[in-house]
Amino acid sequence: MTNKKISVVIPVYNSVRTLEQLFTRLNSVLQKITDDYEVVFVDDCSSDTSWEILKKLKSGNAVSIMLFRLTSNFGQHNATLCGLCNSTGEIIITMDDDLQHPPEELPKLIEAMWQNNAELVYGVSTNYKREKIAIKILKFLSKRSGYSPGNWSAFRLLKKELCVKICNPTSNYFNVDQSVFKHTTNITFVDVSFAQRRFGNSGYSFWSRLLLLKNILFQQTNSTSGKLPFIIQEQLI
């Protein structure tokens, strides 16, 4: 158990088939870790009924759930940023909505944070063999360019102090990992077990991942004057 408040941020896009199971499992795990937690769902303008499922979850559970619905599809990193900027926990964890990041692996990130006094912890899997070639290229080239320490995933833990630093983006392109790497080298990696995707396909194609790499390596530097790269249409907090 910990006396620190934990926030779990989950960007959501067309995940009607996984949301209820995800929350049930996540809630069970969090109850064993802390008495003070919140789950922050950010619906990135889903075209299915994900928003209705999220509202049902909020109305049917006493635990703290915060919901945000964006006006259009701003992308996973911007949706994650929305959740990060609205989180109130001292420990903030981000994870995907498709159950590839098993909630049961979450305690490993927290344990690694305590053991290493880390500001940033990534859950990575050495046994996950089906990582797409575009992701491997992205990680290899970003490491060679000096952009990253060599590995990352969307299953990550940030301390609140680090989260605050990235919630005021200074360029017109935002990437969570690129931003945190600018503010800390106190990073730990912990091996976790990723699950195979059960429903649907990844929102990233081969070409969209290469575009992501281009944006990372050749990011534009025009100031956004503190303007966040997303617009909230509706929120339930």
Does residue 192 fall inside a structural domain? yes
Cα–Cα nearest to 13, from 228, 202, 205: 202
Does residue 120 fall inside a structural domain? yes
The backbone region for 95, taken as left when phi is positive above 0, alpha when psi lies in -120 to 50, beta otherwise, is beta
Q: Give the span between the Cα atoms of 164 and 80, in whole angstroms.
A: 13
Does residue 70 fall inside a structural domain? yes
- Other CB atoms within a 10 A radius of the CB of residue 52 amount to 12
Exposed, middle or buried: residue 11 (CB in 10 Å: 0-12, 13-18, 19+)? buried
On whether the CB atoms of residues 137 and 214 are closer than 8 A, the answer is no
Q: State the pLDDT at residue 222.
A: 45
Q: State the pLDDT at residue 134.
A: 46
Does residue 185 fall inside a structural domain? yes
Does residue 215 fall inside a structural domain? no
Does residue 206 fall inside a structural domain? no
Phi, psi of 196 (to 5 degrees): -75, 145
| Percent of the chain whose pLDDT exceeds 70 | 75
Entry field: residues in the chain? 237
pLDDT tens digits for range 30-87: 999 999 999 999 999 999 999 999 999 999 887 799 999 999 999 999 999 999 999 9
pLDDT tens digits for range 158-197: 999 999 999 987 666 788 998 899 899 999 999 999 987 6
Number of domains in the chain: 1
pLDDT tens digits for range 133-165: 545 555 555 554 555 565 779 999 999 999 999
Q: State the pLDDT at residue 215.
A: 55
**The two structure tokens encoding residue 144:** 């060679």
Q: CB neighbours of 199 closer than 8 A, spacing ≥ 6?
A: 15, 17, 18, 98
Question: CATH number, domain at 170?
Answer: 3.90.550.10
Higher pLDDT, 52 or 200: 52
- Average of pLDDT values for 7-11? 98
Q: State the pLDDT at residue 175.
A: 87
Cα–Cα nearest to 58, from 185, 228, 202, 235: 235
Does residue 204 fall inside a structural domain? no
pLDDT tens digits for range 111-129: 999 999 999 999 998 665 5
Does residue 124 fall inside a structural domain? yes
> Domain limits at 108?
6-129+152-199+228-236
pLDDT tens digits for range 16-35: 999 999 999 999 999 999 99
On whether the CB atoms of residues 96 and 14 are closer than 8 A, the answer is no
Q: State the pLDDT at residue 161.
A: 97
Q: Give the span between the Cα atoms of 154 and 152, in whole angstroms.
A: 7
